[in-house]
Amino acid sequence: MARSNISIRQTMPWILLLIMATSPTLKCAEGQSPLGQSKALFPPKDTVDILNQMSGAITTHCMSRDDDIGMYTIAPGATQRWRFHHNFWDRTLFWCRFWSPSGRTQAFEVWSEGVKKHSKCYRKCYWFVRDDGFWVTDYNYHWHPESATFMLPW
């Protein structure tokens, strides 16, 4: 029987590196992780921004299957942001429920394969919440609100 020259001591650092590189990590705009104080080995890869362009504050509750971002109240002109590593198969999905100042509500996916294909968001999606509904643009290439695509009404 042939004996391998590779020891567990030699392979353990590579196994740990692989585990850390593929673990999802979330960070909020304030730099605090909603899941604790753990830090990612690599910088955050994907970003979702939600900008309130309404005259009053809106409330959001965003989550994925694994992570609850929590409820936020976003003042007019303010932005909610979170960053995350997508999963290994690039099938990460986040959805949000929104409440308007007038009591209207809407819920939908803000990050998924479908959203990225329809809006051309690649690594960053910038959502605009307006009186007429929800608009999205590719943060990387089209920062300006006038380049946003209308996605759905309130």
CATH code for the domain of 69: 2.60.40.2890
Give dist(CA 65, CA 85) in Å, integer. Answer: 14
Phi, psi of 93 (to 5 degrees): -135, 125
- pTM > 0.75: no
Q: Provide the residue range defining the domain that includes 98.
A: 8-152
Domain-located, residue 100 = yes
Work out how many domains the chain is built from and give that number.
Answer: 1
Per-residue pLDDT of the chain (154 residues; tens, 9 = 90+): 556 566 766 766 666 556 655 554 444 444 444 444 444 456 457 888 999 999 999 999 999 888 899 999 999 999 999 877 666 556 677 899 999 999 999 999 887 666 655 556 767 888 999 999 999 887 655 556 677 888 899 9
Domain-located, residue 2 = no
CA distances to 69, 79, 137 from 75, rounded to whole Å, are 18, 8, 20
Domain-located, residue 18 = yes
Domain-located, residue 137 = yes
